[in-house]
Amino acid sequence: MNVMTTSKLEVVPLSKHIGAELRGLDLSQPLSEADVAAINKAWLDHIVILFRGQRLSQEDQLRLTAYFGEVGALGRPPKYFPPGFNKLLPKIMMISNIRENGEPIGALPDGEMMFHHDMIHHDLPHNGTMLYSLEIPTYGGDTLFASGYAAYDTFDPALKAKLEGKKARHHYNYGSTQKGDGKGTEAFAQSCHPVFRTHDQSGRKSTYVNRLMTTGIEGMSDQEAQPLLDALFDHTEKPEFIYRHQWKVGDVLLWDNRCSTHARDDFPADQRRLMLRTTVAGTVIPT
């Protein structure tokens, strides 16, 4: 069902539990207060929001991000666009596999990534992440989003009872076995957060552990914790909780890290993929 929320904005759900396409807005123009309120509501309701066919300057992307909260810090040193582009503004980061002198110009360059929450290894992870797509491969490189609310609501009650009130440990890892990446990344930082996180705005609970970065549960032996975590990872990643996003150039997508995980499909290493990333800073993790 399509729901009109303002005179211009149309909200079209993309799957049963997560994702909505927001139509009718030109994001290169400042938005009215009513539209800002409507897109924030859509973000809270749908976890992932998508705007297609946008042409944004870096200033536009920063303005858009700021409609959802304070723009987050990079967590990585600033980089520069490849030849033909201008310098990146502060707080904008490239996600890209494009290489110059053999080195990727962006972060998270290559291929598949397991389900994860951005920055969960920090004490105060970013509330949201926005990607604006500039170049995409001819196939692959889809991003998958899983609703942590739907996973929490349907998780086996007996297993849920064992994990309720517990905290999990998280590592910066990104699948690498090497410490750090030599580029200033705050690598192998660790944190501890509730296994089930209460969203500070919606008040709903969601799963808050992920296969890529969660390493254990406080106060439990690994022998006891790992089967519980595996059950929770498997449950959270069930296809019925997932929206798969197939990118087009000009897509702007914002996801809520408080109540969702995301993963990325493999894509051809010899095809260019370039996204500009901004973040919404973290606010609070209710205990």
Contact (Cβ atoms closer than 8 angstroms) between residue 141 and residue 263: no
Alpha-carbon distance of 11 to 114, in angstroms, equals 29
C-alpha pair distances (Å), 140 with each of 136, 244, 251, 260: 9, 11, 16, 21
Contact (Cβ atoms closer than 8 angstroms) between residue 20 and residue 12: yes
* Nearest position to ligand SIN, beta carbon: 143
Given 15, 65, 143, 278, the residue binding ligand SIN (CB under 6 A): 143
Shortest Å, Cβ 108 to ligand SIN: 5
Alpha-carbon distance of 111 to 9, in angstroms, equals 34
Shortest Å, Cβ 84 to ligand SIN: 22
Strand-pairing partners, residue 4, are: 10
Asked whether position 118 contacts ligand SIN by CB under 6 A, the answer is yes
Structure tokens at 226: 């790992």
Shortest Å, Cβ 157 to ligand SIN: 31
Shortest Å, Cβ 260 to ligand SIN: 11
Size of the site for ligand SIN (CB under 6 A): 9
Q: Report CA Rg, the chain.
A: 19
Question: Which is nearer to ligand SIN, 119 or 217 (by Cβ)?
Answer: 119
Asked whether position 114 contacts ligand SIN by CB under 6 A, the answer is no
128 sits in which H/E element: strand 128-135
Alpha-carbon distance of 211 to 236, in angstroms, equals 10
Asked whether position 35 contacts ligand SIN by CB under 6 A, the answer is no
Given 106, 260, 262, 280, the residue binding ligand SIN (CB under 6 A): 262
Asked whether position 113 contacts ligand SIN by CB under 6 A, the answer is yes
Neighbours of 156 (CB within 10 A): 11
Shortest Å, Cβ 284 to ligand SIN: 22
Asked whether position 199 contacts ligand SIN by CB under 6 A, the answer is no
Shortest Å, Cβ 233 to ligand SIN: 16
Asked whether position 279 contacts ligand SIN by CB under 6 A, the answer is no
Alpha-carbon distance of 111 to 270, in angstroms, equals 11
Q: Which residues bind ligand SIN (CB under 6 A)?
A: 95, 108, 113, 118, 129, 143, 262, 264, 275
